[in-house]
Structure 1
Amino acid sequence: MTEQTSDLRVAVVGVGAMGADHVRRLADRVVGARPVLVADASAQTAERVAAAHPGVRVAPDALAALDDDDVDAVVIASTGPTHAELLLACLERGLPVLCEKPMTTDVASALEVVRAEAAVSATTGKRLVQVGFMRRYDAGYVALRQLVETDELGAPLLLHCAHRNASVPPYSTSETVVLDSLVHEVDGARFLLGEEVTAITVRTPRRRRSAPEGLADPVFALLETQSGALVDVEVSAATGLGYEVRTELVAERGTALVGTESGPLVARADTAVRGRRVPAGFLERFEAAYDAEVQAWADAARRGTAAGPSSYDGYAATAVTTAGVEALRTGRRVEVVLEPRP
């Protein structure tokens, strides 16, 4: 694919809450791209989303959307188990693709995607897959990463993370909390610290009385990294209060907290101020990050390539969360061994 001079024509596969939001984003806010086609397991949902955006058509199924002559690139926002087949189909067709997390739900299929993309890259010199880890585009997380890169606070020692949802879909299980929610903290740790996670322990404290039946809530994870830094993560699935995400870096010469309304709260000897509100949901909390993420993807896709979090990043996160599911089941610390990056 050569660089486009006209708008990038995008098919969105899966138009539930996340996919429908991406359709709105592409239609209203992203420069140089527009939605032209939607597909969803629910024909009624697809029709409703398409009807809200003039010029958007409904494809009979996901693969038909990929084969449509009007489609230049694809956003995958369907359920996790569908991602591997769709990603491989996009690679086979040479379509740049933004795939929501998790990239896939198991290590074998994640590696298959990584290797398939590597084969395409060996021929074209271009990447095609970007994984939807939007926190890498959040202003607070970018600032926190810069603090680490510039060594302003010294070497990182700990990350304290909280990821709290007001509620979760009725089909959620303790395992999906690890695979679908904890995955953000896994990639966040890799992004912020610039290194891999080498082991994970997952424990469940006393269960929240209001939690849905059969769901461990909250879940507590401890991640170990290559340098010896530790990352502790609390994932609460059903607080009933709103959507709250924050991360605090503890380094040799200070601390820095993101997830406040005013950006990073850096504490030194001349410590700062506090104050924040809890957003209603993830689309509100990370709206600006989603905008920046999709714009960066669209800019790259117009050049026939991809930017941002790679298929290898998706694989690495899946490897950690898969180990996390084992740790959840067994109560044991599980080591994470990654295949080398192609």
Structure 2
Amino acid sequence: MASGGTGGTLGVAVIGTGRMGADHVRRLHEVTNGARVAAVVDIDAERVKRIADGIEGCSAYTDPAAAMAADGVDAVLIASPGPAHEAALLTAFGHDLPVLCEKPLTPGPASALRILEAEQRLGHRRLQVGFMRRYDAEYTQLKSLLETGRLGRPLMLHNRHRNVSAPPGFTSEMLISDSVVHEMDITRWLLGQEITAVTVLKPTPSGNAPQGVQDPQLVLFETSGGAIVDVEINVNCGFGYQVQAEVVCERGTARIGDGHALVTNTAGHWGGTIAQDFVERFEDAYDRQMQAWVDATRRGEVTGPSAWDGYATTAIVEAGIRAQKEGGRIEVDLLPRPPFYN
């Protein structure tokens, strides 16, 4: 690593410049301190060249391996589609480069385990997985409250996850793999417990849902500590983007996500606004996540969600999709956590 471990400006190669990747390029270039966009990679050569041309000192590539081998690249941000993650991660490990990888770590548990094994062979952590809700101010406040023990033991966690509409090609399975995956990670993080079983209940589909898409769904988790967690996932609600959580403990409850920072009263009405997409709702969390990753990398450290967290969610997703298709309760097949990730 040319400068990442010495406190110098971190040169980052961003792999994938779709909606999320392009937003990360902007964030690194305009918002984050201590880092610069050294390279951008995409199969669309024209698009990646346009992006690179707008950033001084940035080079454009269509091959991730070439970008990672380039001078001035100290770290990698992977925002390409999930099926491409494994190859990019293994290449990054081959160069011993720190990586921030958007979820999913990989599409399934088998490939995720290969990533765990490869990182352990390095002998030190290099990977952080992009579960950005852990950096959201409300979620971190809720986590801190639970850790004080003032409310007693968590018994239940209620979650609501609503999108205005799903993008074209969004399937019933993607409600679990692309949306509820966030609740899988945040449940494990908030409660400090593993998810041991999943049940999926499916009401009559909404008239807003595309033909053949089972939306909404109610997903139930059981945890290793005896808590029960429910997730209302509704990706075609039509009115806004909402992520809300309420934890029920022995001596009280706590709720986040109501979005009541600004309430207006005018002309016989009161109310506020509802975010329209995840980028708007979690912009600050993405900013915090990026700055924390850059700061840790420049110190020569790796913090945040680990490859183990990425693997655990793939195992839970696998159980969730089985529960969705087969009905009933499906236990999560999760290997014991390696000491490397304790």
Give the TM-score normalised by structure 2. 0.92
Partner of 2:318: 322
C-alpha separation between the residues in 2 aligned to 1:256 and 1:276? 21
* Percent identical residues: 51
Read off the aligned partner of 1:181 and give its amino acid letter. S
> Alignment partner for residue 336 of structure 1, among 320, 324, 332?
332
Report the secondary structure of 2:156's partner residue. strand
C-alpha separation between the residues in 2 aligned to 1:206 and 1:13? 40
Read off the aligned partner of 2:254 and give its amino acid letter. A
Equivalence map 1:17-166=2 (5 Å): 17-121=19-123, 126-166=124-164
Asked if structure 2 preserves the Cα contact closer than 8 Å seen for 1:130 and 1:307, the reply is: yes
C-alpha separation between the residues in 1 aligned to 2:161 and 2:52? 32
Partner of 2:267: none
Root mean square deviation, CA, Å = 1.7
> Alignment partner for residue 182 of structure 1, among 180, 186, 207?
180
Read off the aligned partner of 1:309 and give its amino acid letter. P
Report the secondary structure of 2:143's partner residue. helix
| TM superposition shift of 1:324 | 0.5
> Alignment partner for residue 307 of structure 1, among 303, 318, 321?
303
C-alpha separation between the residues in 2 aligned to 1:240 and 1:39? 34
| TM superposition shift of 1:240 | 2.3
C-alpha separation between the residues in 2 aligned to 1:139 and 1:262? 14
| TM superposition shift of 1:57 | 2.1
| TM superposition shift of 1:275 | 7.0
Deviation sequence 1:199-241 (CA, Å, 0-9, x none): 0011221101121222111121000001110110011112222
Asked if structure 2 preserves the Cα contact closer than 8 Å seen for 1:128 and 1:304, the reply is: no
C-alpha separation between the residues in 2 aligned to 1:50 and 1:120? 32
Partner of 1:286: 282
Read off the aligned partner of 2:51 and give its amino acid letter. V
C-alpha separation between the residues in 2 aligned to 1:55 and 1:251? 52
Report the secondary structure of 1:288's partner residue. helix
Distance 1:80 1:276, change over 3 A: farther
Partner of 1:192: 190
Partner of 1:268: none
C-alpha separation between the residues in 2 aligned to 1:107 and 1:255? 34
Give the TM-score normalised by structure 1. 0.92
Structure 1 gaps of 5+ residues are: 264-273
| TM superposition shift of 1:276 | 5.6
Report the secondary structure of 2:11's partner residue. strand
Read off the aligned partner of 2:293 and give its amino acid letter. W
> Alignment partner for residue 209 of structure 1, among 207, 210, 215?
207
C-alpha separation between the residues in 2 aligned to 1:34 and 1:231? 40
Report the secondary structure of 2:296's partner residue. helix
44-53 vs 149-158, which moves further: 44-53
Partner of 1:271: none
Partner of 1:15: 17
Report the secondary structure of 2:274's partner residue. coil
17-26 vs 302-311, which moves further: 302-311
Asked if structure 1 preserves the Cα contact closer than 8 Å seen for 2:45 and 2:61, the reply is: no
C-alpha separation between the residues in 2 aligned to 1:252 and 1:241? 34
C-alpha separation between the residues in 1 aligned to 2:285 and 2:77? 16
Asked if structure 1 preserves the Cα contact closer than 8 Å seen for 2:159 and 2:231, the reply is: yes
| TM superposition shift of 1:260 | 2.5
C-alpha separation between the residues in 1 aligned to 2:159 and 2:44? 35
Read off the aligned partner of 1:188 and give its amino acid letter. I
Partner of 2:264: none
Asked if structure 1 preserves the Cα contact closer than 8 Å seen for 2:209 and 2:215, the reply is: yes
Instruction: Give aligned pairs, total.
Output: 328
